């Protein structure tokens, strides 16, 4: 696969910044910081998964980020969603 690592890195950074801004907007609208954190985490993870086949991870010596975003970050996102749902359901019972 032919890719430009510098362009791939720029795309990932732009998507990560957009994820942060979207998270801030969610927080500003809903006033729920945990929900904003979940949205940022999921979108941030996707920003690196988009370029999972890129050579940028090897060229910039961030191969750990590739494995983290493929193997660990999705489980963190699932855990955050489960915690959020438990908190949401706990507030309904009170």
Q: What is the pLDDT along the chain (94 residues), one digit of tens a residue?
A: 457 878 888 888 888 899 999 999 999 999 989 999 999 999 999 888 888 777 878 888 888 888 888 899 999 999 999 999 888 887 766 5
Q: What is d(CA 29, CA 45) in angstroms, rounded to the nearest whole number?
A: 22
Residue 28's domain comprises: 5-93
73-94: burial string, b at 16+ Cβ within 10 Å, e else: beeebeebeeeeeeeeeeeeee
Tally of domains in the chain: 1
Q: Are 59 and 8 in contact (CB under 8 A)?
A: no
With beta carbons less than 8 A apart as the criterion, state whether 71 and 46 touch: no
């Amino acid at each position: 696969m032919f890719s430009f690592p510098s362009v791939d890195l720029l795309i990932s950074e732009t998507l990560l910044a957009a994820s942060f801004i979207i998270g801030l907007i969610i927080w500003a609208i809903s006033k729920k910081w945990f929900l904003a954190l979940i949205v940022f985490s999921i979108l941030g993870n996707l920003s690196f998964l988009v370029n999972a086949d890129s050579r940028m991870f090897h060229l910039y010596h961030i191969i750990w980020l590739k494995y983290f975003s493929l193997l660990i970050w999705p489980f963190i996102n699932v855990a955050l969603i489960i915690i959020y749902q438990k908190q949401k359901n706990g507030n309904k019972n009170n």
